Amino acid sequence: MPMPQAGDKAPGFSLPDQSGATVSLSQFKGRHVVLYFYPKDATPGCTTEACDFRDEHSALVKAGAVVLGVSPDSVASHQKFATKQGLPFSLLADPDHALADAYGVWGEKSLYGRKFMGLIRATFLIGPDSKVVRVWPKVKVAGHVAEVLATLQGGSSSDAAPPPKKALAKAPAAKKASAAEAKPATVKKPAAKKAPAAKGAVRKGARA
């Protein structure tokens, strides 16, 4: 089936979690649900993703969301994985990948040139009205949980301000003001000329 998009009605479900309790989408009506699909318990990427959701769980809950993980693993596998990693949220067992099919995340994958059917890592943010708010297809684990949290808090990591660019080169220093601009020029008065000696004047020391 095609992957639901923003504005679509989210496919409902009722699946057992790691404790064996049945979890249904309908029980979270009025709240946001972060429904994330991951390929397999205890693998490196899936462990990192689960631990990122664990570390931000209180912030996600504060933002009004319920976190639910889904994979084709069994209830027993989920229980072991959740216990080992101290996961505070439900992991739903979808061994026949019926829910993965409903959300369009079960499909052909490729690894080392080998093609096979499997679960595609993806996350769906479902709104209080049970409609899809946002989809993250083909999730890259690094930074994903932070982006989900930012979306719940009213923004997204893509809306965040870009990292600061390198400081611009300093503008060339302003040229020193010319002497005329720095202070008014002082006009020098011409030196007074000595009055010429009177004709016929007796030189000092000259005889009468």
Please give the average per-residue pLDDT across 195-204, as a whole number.
46
Per-residue pLDDT tens digits for 49-96: 999 999 999 999 999 999 999 999 999 999 999 999 999 999 999 999
Please state the pTM of the whole predicted model: 0.74
What positions carry a catalytic annotation? 46
Nearest of 47, 91, 45, 101 to residue 71 by alpha carbon: 91
**Residue 15: pLDDT above 70?**
yes
d(C-alpha 46, C-alpha 188), whole Å:
88
The encoded tokens of residue 130 equal 């049970």
**Residue 143: pLDDT above 60?**
yes
Per-residue pLDDT tens digits for 98-141: 999 999 999 988 888 888 899 999 999 999 999 999 999 999 99
